Amino acid sequence: MTFSKENFKNQFISNVRTLSRQTVENATKEQLYEALAFTIRDYVTDKWLKTHETYDKEGVKIVCYLSMEFLMGRFLGNAILNMSIYDEVKEVLSELNIDYNTIENVEKDPGLGNGGLGRLAACFLDSLSTMELPAYGCGIRYHYGIFEQKIENGYQVELPDNWLENGDIWGVKRHEYAQEIKFGGTVRAVKQPDGRYKFIQENYESIMAVPYDYPVVGYDNNTVNTLRLWDAYAKEAFDLQSFNAGDYTKAVANQNIAKTLTEVLYPADEHYAGKELRLRQQYFFVSATIQRIVSKYKKKFGNDLSKFHEKYALQLNDTHPSIAVAELMRVLIDENDMEWDEAWEITKKCCAYTNHTIMSEALEKWPIELFSRLLPRIYMIVEEINKRFCEMLINRYGHDANKIRNMAVVADGQIRMAYLAIVGSHSVNGVAALHTEILKSQELKDFYEVYPDRFNNKTNGITQRRWLGHANPALSSLITDTIGDGWYKDLSELKKLDKYAEDKEFCKKFMQVKSENKKKLADYFKQTKGIDIDPNSIFDIQVKRLHEYKRQLLNIFHVMSLYNKLKVFPGLDIVPRTFIFGAKSAAGYSRAKLIIKLINSVAELVNNDESIEGKIKVVFAENYRVSLAELLIPAADVSEQISTASKEASGTGNMKFMLNGAVTIGTLDGANVEMAQELDNEGIFIFGMKANEVIEEQNKNTYNPWDVYNFSSDVRGVMNMLINGTLDPNTELFREIYDACLNGYNGSRADQYYVLKDFESYCKAQQDIEQTYRNKELWAKMAVHNTACSGKFSSDRTIKEYADEIWKLTPKHIEI
Ligand code: 26Q
C-alpha cells in the first residue's frame, strides 16, 4: 500500500466510522487519535511484513538488544516522521479541521524505562532501523511503566502509570511464539546411554512468556524492525483454554503469580536492591528470548548449532540481562546436547556487555541462596563457569586469595553479575571515552589485565530524528532550508552550519526559532502551573533523574546565593533567568526526594518575592518524561551537565541540548569531555574538579568542607538558609542536607559529591555565561556552533561502531 493523501484521507475517515461509530466532526480527540494510529499502522504493517520476510528468506545475521528498559516515547509522531509523511498528514487533518498536535498529545508515553539507559535503547532501535540493520529489541511488557510524578505541597507523589489503559494500538500479540519459563524446583542428573549426564529440572513452577511485537520504523526506507516485549501468563490459563480446567483456584492463583511478574518496572535507577521479583523478571525475558531464537535458528538452519553465533548477536544492556550467558549455555548443553567447551565458545562469541555506570550502589549481586532456589540449574552452570575461570586465574597468578576474592564470579555468598557478563562475553564496552578509561584503570582494572582485547569504547549518541526532526520542527526547517536535509541520515552534515555562525541573518533566524520555542514552553507553564515566566529571560534547564551525583543541589545552591545577593543589593544588574528543573526521584530515595522539596521551597520563596522584581524564577516541571523533554530541550539557552566528575558514565541529555543549540555549563565528565573537543572549547563552559582529581581526593580522603565554608560568605549564606527558617518554618526540614554537606550523614562522607568544593568555580562559570549572554551576537554564534558541532553524537554513528566492531552485522536493504 503506497501512501497518497487521497487514500490516507479516505482510510482515516473510514476508520473513525468503524472504530467509534462517529463522524469526524463529532469524534472526540481520543477517537481521532485511535483512528489516525490505526491508519498509520496499516502503512507500517506492509513494510514490517516485508522486512521479516526478507530476513527469513536471506537468513541474515540479527542482533538482539537485550534490555530491561525501552523508553520509546510516543509511537505515532515518530512513525509519521520516519515515513516522511508528516506534511501530508498534517494537511489532511487540517482540511478536516483537526489540529494535528492536539491529536498527537492524546497518546500516553510508553514509559517503560527509568532514564538514560532506557532512552539509549530506544535511540539505538531507531538508528538500527534507519541504517537497515536487522535487529530486535527484547524486553518486558510492563503493565505499569515509570510512575507518574505529581508535586503536592512541594513533595514528589508517585501515581501508577497505566499506559495500557486505553488499549495497545501498536502492540501485536504473538501467541504462537509463547515460551515456557521454569522457576524453582530441583535438578536431577540422569545418566545417558553414552555415559554422559543430562540435567533435568523437576517440580518447577512454570510461567508462559508471550511476546507483543511493536514496530520500529526506519527513516526514509522500508525497514521496520521489531521491539519484542514479553508478557507473562499462567501456564494453567493456557490449559484452561484447552478445557483442561483442573483446579480452578490454583489456576487463578498461578495467574496472579504470572501477573505480578510483568506488573511494574522497578523505578530505581543506579540503585540495586536484591529483590526476588527483579531476578525473576530478568530471567523471564532473557530465557524467553534465547529459547525463541534457538528454536527459530533450528527451524531455519537445522539442528546443528555450531554456527549459531554467525546468525545471532546478543547485546547486554548493562548487567540486567547478563544471566543470558548462563541461559544460552543451558539451552545449548541441556536441550541440544552440546559439549561444554563448544557451548562456551559460542556463548562468548554471541554475547557482548555494555557497562553504564561506575556507581557501586548499582552493581548487581545476587545472594547465592536466592539465586540457587529460584534458578537451580542456572546456578549450577554459573558455578561451573566460576570454577573454570578461577582455575585460569590460579594458573596465571598462583594461589592468590585476594585475586580470587576480587575477581571471582561467585564470592562472599554472592553472584556478581558484572563479572559473569565480562567472563562470558567477547566485548565489554563503556559509553564514553572517559568512562571506558576509568573502567580500564579503576573499576575493572583486574579484568582489563586478563582480557585487554575485550575492552572497547562506544560513545553514546541520540537519534536526530526524534530529538531535532520531531522535537524541533522549526529549527529542522531552518537547517534544511540552509544546508539541505542530508542531516536526517548523516548528522555530520551539520558541520556545514558552522560557517553560518558568522552570518548575522542566519543567526537572527536561529535565535528567532529559539525564542518561539521559549514562548511555547512559557505558555505550557502558564497553562499547567499558572506561573508567569519571561520568554526573554535566560532559560537554564537541568532535566534528568534526581541523583546526588548529578548535583541538582549545586544548581539550586547557586540560585539560593543569587537570591541572597539580590536581597542585599536589590538594584543588582543581572540578566533575568528562569531556572527550570525536571526530575523523578526513585520512590525510596529519601535524600533525593528532600532535594525536590528544597527546589520547590526555593521556587516558592523566589517566585513570590516582589523585591527581586522577577529577576530570577524557579520552575519545577512535573513528571519529566520523553514527550516533555521534546518540549523543554528545544527551548533551552543553557544546559546543566554538572555531575561530579567521573560519576556520569556518559549522559545523553547533554547531546540533545547541544543539538538544539543550547550552551552547556558542565564538568569534564562523561561525554561532556568529547563535546568540548568537538566544540574546540567554544560555547561550552567547563568548571570544577577533573575526574582524576576526584578519584585522587576520594583515595586521600583529606577534604574538609568546613574549609570551603570558612572561606566563603556565599557558601555560609546558602548553608544558613537551609536551617534558619527562610525556606520553611520547620528549621529541621533541610537539616539532613546541611549535615550531608558539612558533617557527613549516616556514615557517608561530608560533601561526598563535592558540591561545596565545586561551588565557587560553578558560580564563576555561571557569571561567564551571563556576560556572554549580554552579547547577543556572540551568544547566537555559540548556539549555532553547538548545533553545528553535534554531528558526532548521532546514535547512527554509535550503532555503526557496534555493528562493525562488535556484532559484525551488515545492512540488508528491504525492497518493496
Ligand atoms: C538495578 C538493579 C535493580 C533495580 C534497578 C537497577 C537499575 C536500573 C536502571 C540500575 C541502573 C539503571 C539505569 C542506569 C542508567 O540509566 N545509566 C545511565 O546510562 C546512560 C546511557 O548509557 C548514560 O548516559 C548515563 O550516564 C548513565 O547514568
Instruction: Name which residue sits closest to atom 2 of ligand 1, judged by CA.
Output: 272
Phi, psi for 292 (deg, rounded to 5):
-65, -45
120 CB under 6 A from ligand 1?
A: yes
Residue whose CA is at the smallest distance from ligand 1 atom 15: 117
Residue 811: DSSP 8-state: -
Residue closest via CA to ligand 1's atom 25 equals 651
Which of 221, 660, 663, 664 is CA-nearest to residue 473?
A: 660
Query: For 560-566, which contacts have Cβ atoms below 8 Å and span 24 or more sequence positions?
Result: 560/602, 560/717, 560/718, 560/721, 561/714, 561/715, 561/717, 561/718, 561/763, 562/616, 563/602, 563/605, 563/606, 563/609, 563/612, 563/616, 564/714, 564/717, 564/718, 564/721, 566/611, 566/612, 566/615, 566/616
**Residue among 589, 619, 737, 656 at smallest CA distance from 147:** 589
Say how far apart CA 585 and CA 155 lie, in whole Å. 11
Cβ contacts of residue 749 below 8 Å, gap of 6+? 701
Distance CA 395, CA 26 (A): 77
Query: Which helix (H) or strand (E) element contains residue 508?
Result: helix 504-529
Spacing, Cα 670 to ligand 1 middle (Å): 14
Type of residue numbered 454: R
Pocket test for ligand 1, best of 68, 117, 140, 795 (most atoms within 8 A of CB): 117
Spacing, Cα 318 to ligand 1 middle (Å) = 8
The distance of Cα 126 from the centroid of its chain, to the nearest Å, equals 13
User: Residue 639 is which amino acid?
Assistant: S
Question: Dihedral through CA 370, CA 372, CA 373, CA 377, nearest 10?
Answer: 150
- Check if 132 has its Cβ closer than 6 Å to any atom of ligand 1: no
Alpha carbon distance 740, 545 (integer Å): 20
pLDDT at residue 405 tops 80: yes
Distance CA 56, CA 296 (A): 10
Within 10 Å of residue 525's Cβ, how many Cβ atoms?
A: 17
Question: 712: closest CA among 762, 666, 638?
Answer: 762
The answer to whether 284 and 375 have CB atoms below 8 angstroms apart is: no
Question: What's the order of all strands across the beta sheet hosting 684-686?
Answer: 616-620, 577-582, 538-543, 638-641, 663-666, 684-686
Q: Look at ligand 1, atom 13, and give the residue with the nearest C-alpha.
A: 269
AA identity, residue 82:
N
Cell numbers found for residue 449: 589485565
Mean pLDDT of the chain: 96
Q: How far is the CA of 355 from the centre of ligand 1 (A)?
A: 9
Environment class of 50 (CB within 10 Å of its CB; exposed 0-12, middle 13-18, buried 19+): middle
Ligand 1 center–CA 646 separation, angstroms: 15
The residue nearest atom 4 of ligand 1, judged by CA position, is 272
Has residue 804 got a pLDDT over 90? yes
Given the DSSP bridges, would you call strands 312-317 and 414-416 parallel, antiparallel or unpaired?
A: unpaired
Quote the ligand 1 centre to 190 CA distance (angstroms): 42
Please indicate, yes or no, whether the overall pTM of this predicted structure exceeds 0.85: yes
Which residue reads 548575522 in cell numbers? Answer: 504
Q: Which pLDDT does position 486 carry in this prediction?
A: 98
Cβ proximity of 558 and 770 under 8 Å: no
DSSP letter, residue 411: E
- Do residues 207 and 284 lie in contact, with contact meaning Cβ atoms separated by under 8 Å? yes
Residue 313 has φ and ψ, to the nearest 5°, of -115, 140
Tell me, using a 6 A CB cutoff, whether residue 364 lines ligand 1. yes
* CA pair distance 651, 640, nearest whole angstrom: 11
- 233 has pLDDT over 50: yes
Q: CB of 355 closer than 6 A to ligand 1?
A: no
What is the total residue count of the chain? Answer: 816
Residue 225 C-alpha cell reads as: 524492525
Nearest Cα to 630, choosing from 86, 77, 134? Answer: 77
Query: Rounded to 5 degrees, what angle do the CA atoms 755, 697, 358 make?
Result: 75
Mean pLDDT throughout 591-619?
Answer: 98
Q: Residue 335, Cα to own-chain centre: how many angstroms?
A: 35
Q: Could you give the CA distance from residue 652 to residue 501 in angstroms, rounded to a whole number?
A: 24
Question: Which ranges of 569-610 would DSSP assign to H, the alpha helix?
Answer: 590-607
For ligand 1, what atom is nearest to the CA of residue 649? 26
| Distances in whole angstroms, Cα of residue 203 to Cα of each of 183, 185, 200, 208, 280 | 9, 5, 10, 16, 17
Mean pLDDT computed over 155-176:
97
- Whether the CB of 218 sits within 6 Å of ligand 1: no
Q: Report in angstroms the alpha-carbon separations of 256 from 279, 498, 741.
A: 17, 58, 46
Taking the centre of ligand 1 as the mean of its atom positions, its distance from the CA of residue 117, in whole angstroms, is 5
683 closest CA partner among 778, 582, 579? 778
Question: Given the CA of residue 119, which atom of ligand 1 is nearest to it?
Answer: 21
**Ligand 1 neighbour 282 (Cβ under 6 A):** no
Phi and psi angles of residue 151, each rounded to the nearest 5 degrees, phi first: -105, 120
The residues carrying an active-site annotation are 356, 544-545, 550, 652, 656
> Is the C-beta atom of 669 inside 6 A of ligand 1?
no
Atom of ligand 1 nearest to the CA of 118: 16
Q: Let me know: does 293 contact 391? Beta carbons within 8 Å.
A: no
Summary count for the chain: helices (H), strands (E): 32, 25
Q: Are strands 577-582 and 538-543 parallel, antiparallel or unpaired?
A: parallel
3-class SS shares of the chain: helix, strand, coil, % to 5: 55, 15, 30
Q: Is the CB of 755 under 6 A from ligand 1?
A: no
C-alpha 653 to ligand 1 mean position (Å): 14
CA–CA gap between residue 707 and residue 690 (Å, rounded): 20
Q: Is the CB of 267 under 6 A from ligand 1?
A: no
Q: How far apart are CA 539 and CA 762, in angstroms?
A: 17
Q: What spacing in Å lies between the alpha carbon of 115 and ligand 1's midpoint?
A: 7
The Cα 235–Cα 180 span in angstroms is 8
Q: Minimal CA–CA distance to 713: which of 752, 678, 760, 674? A: 760
Mutate to test the pocket of ligand 1, among 69, 264, 270, 656 (most ligand atoms within 8 A of CB): 270
pLDDT in tens, 92-133: 999 999 999 999 999 999 999 999 999 999 999 999 999 999
Query: Residue with the nearest Cα to atom 1 of ligand 1?
Result: 272
650 CB under 6 A from ligand 1?
Answer: yes
Nearest 5 degrees, angle CA 465-CA 471-CA 475? 90
Three-state SS for 397? helix
Maximum pairwise Cα distance, the chain: 93
The answer to whether 146 and 184 are in contact (CB under 8 A) is no
Residue 632 backbone dihedrals phi, psi, to 5 degrees: -75, -50
The residue nearest atom 11 of ligand 1, judged by CA position, is: 270
Alpha carbons 255 and 269: distance in angstroms, whole number = 29
Secondary structure of residue 144 in the 3-state scheme:
strand
User: With a 6 A CB cut-off, is 115 part of the ligand 1 pocket?
Assistant: yes
Ligand 1 centroid from CA 270, angstroms:
5
pLDDT tens string 12-46: 999 999 999 999 999 999 999 999 999 999 999 99
**Edge-to-edge strand ranges of the sheet holding 365-367:** 365-367, 414-416, 410-411
Indicate the SS3 state at residue 599. helix
**Percent of the chain predicted with pLDDT > 70:** 98
Each residue's pLDDT tens digit, 243-281: 455 566 666 667 777 889 999 999 988 777 789 999 999
Consecutive H or E run containing 705: helix 705-711
Radius of gyration of the chain (CA): 27
